[in-house]
Amino acid sequence: MYKVKNGTDSADRVYSGSAGKSRNSEAERLRAKGEALRHSRRNARSGKVVRNREEEQKRSQQLRERSGSRYADKRSDSGPVSGASSSRYADKQAAASAPVKRHPGRRSGSQRAAIAMQAKKAETRSARPDRSRRAPAAQAAPQPIAAAAPAANGYAVNAPNEQVNAPAVRPGLWQRWIAGLKRGDSLAVAVLAVVMTLIIGYSVVALFYSSHFYSGTTILGIDCGKLDVEQAKAAVTARIGEYTLEVDGRSGSEVIPAEAVGFTYKDEGGMEKLLASQKSWMWPVMMLLHPDTVLEVGTRYDHSRIADVVAKMACFSEENAIAPKDAYLGTDENGYVVVPEQPGALPDVKAVTALLTQALDQGRTKVSLEDADCYVKPQVTSDDPLLNEVAQKRNKLLGAKITIPFGNFNEVVDTQKLISFMAENRAGEYYISSDRIKAYVAQLANKYDTYGEYRSFRTSLGTAVDLYGGDYGWLLDQEATADELAECIRRKMVTTLDPIYTYTAMDRGLNDIGDTYVEICISLQEMWCYQDGVLMVDTPVVTGNPNRNNATPSGGVWAIDAKMQDYTLVGADYRTPVSFWMPFNGNVGIHDLKARYYFGGTIYLYNGSHGCVNTPLDAVEQIYNIVSVGTPVIVYE
């Protein structure tokens, strides 16, 4: 037994037998249908559409047709219908014209689960108050479902006043697409195919990048994009095998290969970590956020080989390892200057070893010994304050320039010569040394003095004789000249200083005898007198008697020391007056002798003089008038 409400009246009807069972099943169906209507209304109020309106109308029409045929069959079997029954039949027919919802039991399992889920969400939302939301517009209260009259075939139909108030909501895109798939619509199928293709393609790429590196991944300078870990390790190992370290130095560049130091790849798991961090299921995002990824890998090498490699480097060879030179105090035409240091090209073994070790640790391919400051440096540089101070102090003593003439030659005391005169005392003070000036003047005397020096003489006979000794020539007064020079230096004078001589000659050229001289040949007992290169006198003479040890000195050049007239010569055993006297070697000289009538020949060997040169009066007078004090007298055998 069950109760069915129809309007405001209610009645209890009890059915027995087969008719009762049919009516009971029909009532159960109607009850389930009512529950479905209530769920649909809740879904409509929450904006969730769970059915297609056209399908529901179609199903409702089919239900009315089935209900009508069953009712007609039952009526034909039971005979004419009474008025009350006719009224109920008319109500059922009217109710059948309204849309009838399909029984939940006739839906698929997935549809029933979706409906239940939507209903549950709707109940949850309806249970929460939302005062901010505007009250929905008034809706017509749903009419109660009229009692269904049992049909003879066991199916119930809607009562005449049965109403379904589910709002008409347009299905969404998803529902329309699902419906299109069920109908076999080509567009929906194509969309499905595209979606599945994209999903499969995305999954394939994600699966690929789960074991391969993203494009743009660089390891040790190698593009490892789309390589797996093993492939990347093989590429890195090969690249490390090709590793070379270029070392630039002052003497050139040299290359250290990987095998020289045992340079190999060190696997520290970095590639595996990088691959694990890729998040392949987010590959589009990861590739956009990290377009370029660089991984540094570890390497290992044999430290014990570095010392041997350094020792064999070309920069340490004898021709390349040039030691540095310190800055020092030099000179130029202006005085003292600081000569800059010379860096050389001598590498520091410890510094080079440390540099190579660091480069190998970092995997660098090129280093510079110059940039890494690996060369031995000079100890004294050009900016050394002490060195520059010394240069300034010494330059204060310079400034003089003195020219000393020696005939056609000049000696100049300039800056370089002054520098050679400079000395330093114990107090560290600098001064011009007088001793060094005297030494310089002595050098000039040794160079230019001809007094008593060797000469080669061309005789009137056309022969050449070697002359040594005598007292003729230039003789520098060294002490007086040095004093004058020191004074000029002290006053920083720029001048010409004439040397001071003790003895002078007739000419300052290479041949200091000149063109005016007296020539005496002992063996021929002949004398010649030249004036300005012209023979003026050629006369026989008598020289000293060699057999009595009174030989006239010969083999040299002497100068006439004096000129006297009417002079008396006094000796140990003689007293002789003469008209012209011209001594040239102490008491030996040229003079006339009134007591001698013959000259020349061999007279000198048995009746020679005491050493003087006896000359005829007219000849000696002529010579007296030509020569002067200092005129050279050449005497040879």
> One-letter amino acid identity for 496?
T
Closest CA to 156 of 68, 73, 39: 68
Residues 112 and 49 in one domain: yes
Average pLDDT over residues 286-297: 71
CATH number at residue 597: 2.40.440.10
CB count, 10 Å around CB of 562?
11
pTM for the complete prediction?
0.52
pLDDT given for residue 469 in this prediction: 86
Closest CA to 562 of 597, 531, 591: 591
Q: Which residue has the tokens 């970095």?
A: 270
Q: Is residue 52 part of a domain?
A: yes
pLDDT given for residue 206 in this prediction: 81
Q: Which residue has the tokens 């293709």?
A: 197
Of the three residues 445, 479, 503, the one that is the final residue of a domain is 503
Sorting pLDDT into bands at 50, 70 and 90, what band is 108? Answer: low
pLDDT given for residue 56 in this prediction: 67
Helices and strands (H, E) in the chain, number of each type: 18, 30
First to last CA, the chain: 190
| Cα–Cα distance for residue pair 149/271, rounded to 1 Å | 79
Residue-range definition of the domain harbouring residue 479: 397-503
Residues 554 and 411 in one domain: no
| Cα–Cα distance for residue pair 569/580, rounded to 1 Å | 11
Closest CA to 155 of 25, 37, 14, 59: 25
Sorting pLDDT into bands at 50, 70 and 90, what band is 151? Answer: very low
Question: How far from the centroid of its chain's Cα atoms is residue 516's Cα?
Answer: 80
Question: Could you tell me if 248 and 175 are in contact, meaning their C-beta atoms sit under 8 angstroms apart?
Answer: no
| Cα–Cα distance for residue pair 74/66, rounded to 1 Å | 12
Please tell me which residue, 229 or 598, carries the higher pLDDT value: 598
Residues 8 and 95 in one domain: yes
Average pLDDT over residues 412-432: 90
Please tell me which residue, 401 or 167, carries the higher pLDDT value: 401
pLDDT tens digits for 577-594?
999 999 999 999 999 998
Residues 22 and 144 in one domain: yes
pLDDT given for residue 134 in this prediction: 43
Sort 15 into a burial class: Cβ within 10 Å, 0-12 / 13-18 / 19+.
middle
Residues 446 and 549 in one domain: no
pLDDT given for residue 170 in this prediction: 67
| Cα–Cα distance for residue pair 202/124, rounded to 1 Å | 37
Sort 45 into a burial class: Cβ within 10 Å, 0-12 / 13-18 / 19+.
middle
pLDDT given for residue 21 in this prediction: 46
Going by C-beta distance under 8 Å and a sequence separation of 6 or more, which residues neighbour residue 211?
Answer: 228, 229, 275
Q: How do 293-295 and 217-219 pair as beta strands?
A: parallel
Q: Is residue 333 part of a domain?
A: no
Given a cut of 70, whether residue 52 has pLDDT beyond it is no
Q: What is the 3-state secondary structure (H, E, C) of 36-100?
A: HHHHHHHHHHCCCCCCCHHHHHHHHHHHHHHHHHHHHHHHHHHCCCCHHHHHHHHHHHHHHCCCC
Q: How do 409-413 and 422-424 pair as beta strands?
A: unpaired
Query: 131 φ, ψ to 5°?
Result: -70, -20
pLDDT given for residue 604 in this prediction: 94
| Cα–Cα distance for residue pair 347/377, rounded to 1 Å | 9
What percent of the chain has pLDDT above 70? 76
Residues 485 and 526 in one domain: no
Q: Is residue 334 part of a domain?
A: no
Provide the β-strand partners of residue 404.
Answer: 411
pLDDT given for residue 361 in this prediction: 85
Question: How far from the centroid of its chain's Cα atoms is residue 503's Cα?
Answer: 73
Question: Could you tell me if 592 and 620 are in contact, meaning their C-beta atoms sit under 8 angstroms apart?
Answer: yes
Which three-class secondary structure state does DSSP give residue 275?
Answer: helix
Sorting pLDDT into bands at 50, 70 and 90, what band is 146? Answer: very low
Q: Is residue 363 part of a domain?
A: no
pLDDT tens digits for 366-400?
999 999 999 999 999 999 999 999 989 998 989 99
Question: Two tokens at 44?
Answer: 């409509």
What percent of the chain has pLDDT above 90? 40
Sorting pLDDT into bands at 50, 70 and 90, what band is 105? Answer: very low
Given a cut of 60, whether residue 22 has pLDDT beyond it is no
Q: How far is CA 410 from CA 274, 418, 443, 482, in A?
A: 89, 16, 14, 16
Sorting pLDDT into bands at 50, 70 and 90, what band is 226? Answer: confident
| Cα–Cα distance for residue pair 241/246, rounded to 1 Å | 15
Given a cut of 50, whether residue 472 has pLDDT beyond it is yes
Closest CA to 310 of 262, 221, 387, 247: 247
Question: Two tokens at 4?
Answer: 């069915």
Provide the β-strand partners of residue 405.
Answer: 410
Q: Is residue 277 part of a domain?
A: no
pLDDT given for residue 43 in this prediction: 60
Question: Two tokens at 81?
Answer: 């219908």
| Cα–Cα distance for residue pair 505/605, rounded to 1 Å | 33
Question: Could you tell me if 541 and 522 are in contact, meaning their C-beta atoms sit under 8 angstroms apart?
Answer: no
Given a cut of 50, whether residue 155 has pLDDT beyond it is no
pLDDT given for residue 339 in this prediction: 92
Q: Which residue has the tokens 């026989």?
A: 540
Which three-class secondary structure state does DSSP give residue 254?
Answer: strand
Q: Is residue 388 part of a domain?
A: no
Average pLDDT over residues 408-421: 91
Closest CA to 363 of 266, 285, 291: 266
Q: Is residue 276 part of a domain?
A: no
Question: Could you tell me if 73 and 153 are in contact, meaning their C-beta atoms sit under 8 angstroms apart?
Answer: yes
CB count, 10 Å around CB of 375?
21
Average pLDDT over residues 588-615: 93
Residues 148 and 24 in one domain: yes
Residues 161 and 67 in one domain: yes
| Cα–Cα distance for residue pair 24/16, rounded to 1 Å | 10
Question: Could you tell me if 540 and 482 are in contact, meaning their C-beta atoms sit under 8 angstroms apart?
Answer: no
Q: CA triplet 623, 627, 632: central angle to 5 degrees?
A: 110
Residues 578 and 467 in one domain: no
> One-letter amino acid identity for 592?
D
H or E element, residue 1:
none
pLDDT tens digits for 238-285?
877 788 899 999 889 999 898 888 888 777 777 888 878 777 777 777
Given a cut of 90, whether residue 618 has pLDDT beyond it is yes
Residues 16 and 148 in one domain: yes
pLDDT given for residue 376 in this prediction: 94
CATH number at residue 482: 3.10.20.800
Residues 12 and 145 in one domain: yes
Q: Is residue 349 part of a domain?
A: no
**What's the mean per-residue pLDDT of the chain?**
79
Which three-class secondary structure state does DSSP give residue 485?
Answer: helix
| Cα–Cα distance for residue pair 160/95, rounded to 1 Å | 4
Given a cut of 50, whether residue 147 has pLDDT beyond it is no
> One-letter amino acid identity for 481?
T
Q: How far is CA 615 from CA 156, 445, 525, 537, in A?
A: 196, 37, 10, 11
pLDDT given for residue 5 in this prediction: 36
Q: How many domains does the chain have?
A: 3
pLDDT tens digits for 449-467?
999 888 899 999 999 999 9
Q: Which residue has the tokens 């002798």?
A: 593
Given a cut of 90, whether residue 86 has pLDDT beyond it is no
Q: How far is CA 179 from CA 172, 182, 188, 229, 538, in A?
A: 11, 5, 9, 48, 162
Question: Could you tell me if 451 and 471 are in contact, meaning their C-beta atoms sit under 8 angstroms apart?
Answer: yes
Residues 55 and 161 in one domain: yes
Max mean pLDDT range (83-97, 234-248, 566-580)? 566-580
Sorting pLDDT into bands at 50, 70 and 90, what band is 220? Answer: confident
